[in-house]
């Protein structure tokens, strides 16, 4: 990999990709594989160092519902007064969220939300199939497992509500099984100590898990082999426009000429403003704690367990357990407050009391990441309303799940090939 290679000014490439997270790397791979000359520009000194660094690793088309479901406004308002709220709005963020926030709330209405869930599912399922093909072909060592995922509920009411939303995407082909509390424990026996409070569950057989960062790095190697170029430690400051057309980017290592694809995660919105675009994308902060679990051996859970109401998932990734959760509207803040980490630890102990007591919490790796969340919960994939500029950003809580599918969809649109799925739902200005 060209990893830390210094960028040369004046490089002339056909396509410039801004951002070396899962989405930018998948885009570079897909274009390079098709013989299109492309250079990826990443501000950090290595790839996948931002939101794609230590995410939940769940490839879950089953979780296609946007997070602004009906009634989200009640949660957000009450979260202002409750520091431990799983989905938390911080007071000081309210001024920066006005326009995006109103769109976020409008999209939670019953006539919009199911459509967004279906659009996400179409892309996520397509992407999961594309990813499975690559993994089958190359068998990379990325801690993959194909045991499905399990949603658990501590209230009959939430269980019922979740079944209704699952039904919305089930119409498009998702397979799921409704489980009683006893069946939940049979499916994941390590949950036996939570049997007192689990009221039911939903099992999604087609979901899978892998280390998304390892996948991103593996894909970057394939992209380079196919002719793709990567420049790290290079920050894009602005676009270069001529006669209303984007013809390149200005960076702190000189200018680059070519058509541009914006894959910069949460900062995409600020970059897009430079060419007059209003991309409704805001950062939604989440946390992970990664624990060594090699000692668990036969006690290792088989599949991710998701407690939707608490916004938490406990995910076995190879020999590790990763606790992923929370959704905070906290701007670009990356801090790791002790009370949040403690809360995740307690939620883990609620689900797996015995396993939790066996973990070495002193050596746990704590991380926070900023999900690039669009106001309707659906990513932007396609042409910007400006010649020479393309979008692939705003994948929110599903960026690993949707990475390869989004890259294929965009590459089809750029080359004029007929896309496998309808691109309309992901267009700018929808
Ligand atoms: C706690 C948590 C758990 C998650 N769990 C899952 C999960 O289980 N499954 C799932 O599918 N998704 C999950 N996600 C979501 C997923 O991680 C994101 O959707 C995905 O990483 C977004 O990828 P990206 O490439 O768009 O953004 P990023 O990974 O943030 O990449 C954008 C890149 O652009 C670079 N950049 C920005 N500005 C510039 C600039 N001016 N010049 C050059 N480079 C620039 C950044 O440095 C960064 O590397 C989770 C996210 C979080 C936070």
Give residue 273's Cα distance to chain centre.
23
Helices 98-106 & 72-79, crossing angle to 10 degrees?
140
Q: Say what the pLDDT of residue 13 is.
A: 54
Max CA distance (Å), the chain: 66
Q: Say what the pLDDT of residue 3 is.
A: 33
Domain assignments of the chain as residue spans, ordered by start:
63-95+144-208+282-374
Residue 7 confidence (pLDDT) above 70: no
Residue 1 confidence (pLDDT) above 50: no
- Give the number of the atom of ligand 1 that is nearest the alpha carbon of residue 23: 25
Q: Name the residue with higher pLDDT: 77 or 351.
A: 351
Q: Say what the pLDDT of residue 249 is.
A: 98
236 CB near ligand 1 (under 6 Å):
yes
Residue 326 confidence (pLDDT) above 50: yes
Q: Where are the beta strands (DSSP E) in 270-374?
A: 281-292, 305-307, 312-317, 320-329, 365-374
Neighbours of 271 (CB within 10 A): 21
What residues contact residue 133 under an 8 Å CB cut-off, 6+ apart? none
- What does the block give as tokens for 328? 């905070």
Q: In which band, very low, low, confident or very high, does the pLDDT at 255 lie, cut at 50, 70 and 90?
A: very high
**Sign of the CA dihedral with 400 first, then 405, 409, and 411 last:** positive
Helix runs in 71-227, H state only: 72-79, 98-106, 113-138, 156-170, 181-187, 212-225
Q: Say what the pLDDT of residue 68 is.
A: 87
Q: Say what the pLDDT of residue 57 is.
A: 98
- Give the number of the atom of ligand 1 that is nearest the alpha carbon of residue 271: 41
What residues contact residue 267 under an 8 Å CB cut-off, 6+ apart? none
Ligand 1: which residue has its CA nearest to atom 30?
Answer: 51
388 CB near ligand 1 (under 6 Å):
no
Residue of 30, 55, 273 to test ligand 1 pocket, by largest number of atoms within 8 Å of CB: 55
Residue 10 confidence (pLDDT) above 60: no
- pTM of the shown model: 0.95
Give residue 157's Cα distance to chain centre.
28
- Give the number of the atom of ligand 1 that is nearest the alpha carbon of residue 324: 1
Residue of 44, 369, 404 to test ligand 1 pocket, by largest number of atoms within 8 Å of CB: 369
- Give the number of the atom of ligand 1 that is nearest the alpha carbon of residue 402: 11
Ligand 1: which residue has its CA nearest to atom 14?
Answer: 397
Q: Say what the pLDDT of residue 219 is.
A: 98
Helix runs in 80-155, H state only: 98-106, 113-138
By the 10 Å C-beta count (0-12 exposed, 13-18 middle, 19+ buried), 27 is classed as buried
H and E: helices and strands count for the chain: 11, 19
Helices 399-415 & 22-33, crossing angle to 10 degrees?
40
Q: Per residue in 85-98, pLDDT tens?
A: 888 888 888 888 88
What is the CATH class of 63-95+144-208+282-374? alpha beta
Q: How far apart are CA 58 and CA 15, in angstroms?
A: 30
398 CB near ligand 1 (under 6 Å):
yes
Cα(19) to ligand 1 centroid in Å equals: 9
The percentage of residues in the chain with a pLDDT greater than 90, rounded to a whole number, is 83
Render the burial of 87-117: b for 16+ CB within 10 Å, e for the rest: bbbbeebeeebeebbebbeebbeeebbbebb
Q: Name the residue with higher pLDDT: 104 or 350.
A: 350
By the 10 Å C-beta count (0-12 exposed, 13-18 middle, 19+ buried), 156 is classed as exposed
123 CB near ligand 1 (under 6 Å):
no
Residue of 3, 47, 48, 50 to test ligand 1 pocket, by largest number of atoms within 8 Å of CB: 50
Q: Per residue in 394-423, pLDDT tens?
A: 999 999 999 999 999 999 999 999 999 999
43 CB near ligand 1 (under 6 Å):
yes
For 10-22, the DSSP string reads: T-EEEEEEE--SH
The percentage of residues in the chain with a pLDDT greater than 70, rounded to a whole number, is 97
Q: Per residue in 34-85, pLDDT tens?
A: 999 999 999 999 999 999 999 999 999 999 999 888 888 888 888 888 888 8
Q: How far apart are CA 406 and CA 386, in angstroms?
A: 20
Beta strand 320-329 with 236-242 is unpaired
231 CB near ligand 1 (under 6 Å):
no
Mean pLDDT of 229-241: 98
Mean pLDDT of 353-381: 97
Q: In which band, very low, low, confident or very high, does the pLDDT at 8 lie, cut at 50, 70 and 90?
A: very low
Ligand 1: which residue has its CA nearest to atom 41?
Answer: 236
Q: In which band, very low, low, confident or very high, does the pLDDT at 5 lie, cut at 50, 70 and 90?
A: very low
Residue 167 confidence (pLDDT) above 70: yes
- What does the block give as tokens for 191? 């949950």
Structure letter (DSSP) for residue 394: -
Average pLDDT, the chain: 94
By the 10 Å C-beta count (0-12 exposed, 13-18 middle, 19+ buried), 34 is classed as middle
Q: In which band, very low, low, confident or very high, does the pLDDT at 285 lie, cut at 50, 70 and 90?
A: very high
């Amino acid at each position: 990999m060209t990893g830390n290679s210094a960028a040369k000014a004046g490089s002339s490439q056909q396509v410039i990709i801004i951002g070396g997270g899962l989405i930018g790397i998948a885009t570079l791979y897909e274009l390079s594989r098709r013989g299109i000359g492309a250079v990826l520009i990443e501000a950090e000194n290595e790839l996948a160092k931002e939101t794609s660094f230590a995410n939940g690793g769940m490839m879950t088309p089953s979780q296609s519902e946007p997070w602004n479901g009906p009634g989200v406004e009640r949660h957000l308002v009450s979260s202002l007064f409750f520091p431990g709220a799983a989905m938390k709005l911080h007071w000081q963020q309210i001024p920066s969220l006005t326009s995006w926030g109103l769109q976020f709330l409008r999209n939670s209405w019953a006539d919009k939300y199911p459509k967004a869930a279906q659009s996400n599912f179409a892309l996520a399922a397509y992407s999961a199939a594309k990813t499975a093909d690559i993994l089958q072909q190359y068998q990379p060592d990325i801690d993959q497992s194909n045991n499905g995922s399990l949603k658990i509920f501590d209230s009959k009411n939430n269980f019922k509500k979740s079944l209704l939303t699952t039904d919305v995407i089930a119409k498009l082909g998702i397979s799921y099984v409704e489980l009683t509390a006893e069946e939940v424990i049979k499916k994941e026996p390590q949950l036996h100590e939570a049997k007192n409070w689990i009221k039911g569950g939903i099992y999604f057989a087609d979901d899978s898990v892998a280390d998304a960062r390892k996948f991103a790095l593996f894909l970057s190697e394939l992209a380079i082999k196919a002719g793709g170029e990567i420049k790290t430690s290079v920050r894009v400051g602005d676009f270069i426009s001529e006669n209303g057309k984007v013809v390149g980017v200005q960076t702190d290592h000189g200018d680059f000429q070519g058509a541009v694809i914006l894959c910069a995660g949460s900062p995409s919105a600020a970059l897009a403003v430079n060419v007059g675009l209003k991309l409704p994308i805001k950062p939604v902060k989440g946390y992970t704690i990664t624990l060594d679990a090699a000692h668990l051996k036969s006690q290792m859970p088989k599949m991710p367990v998701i407690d939707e109401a608490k916004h938490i998932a406990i995910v076995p990734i190879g020999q590790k357990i990763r606790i992923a959760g929370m959704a905070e509207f906290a701007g670009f803040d990356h801090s790791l407050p002790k009370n949040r980490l403690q809360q995740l630890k307690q939620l883990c102990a609620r689900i797996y009391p015995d396993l939790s007591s066996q973990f070495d919490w002193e050596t746990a790796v704590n991380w926070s990441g900023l999900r690039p969340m669009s106001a309707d919960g659906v990513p932007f994939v396609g042409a910007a309303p400006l010649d020479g500029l393309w979008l692939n950003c705003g994948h929110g809580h599903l960026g690993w799940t949707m990475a390869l599918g989004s890259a294929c969809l965009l590459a089809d649109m750029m080359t004029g090939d007929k896309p496998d799925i309808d691109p309309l739902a992901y267009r700018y200005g929808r």
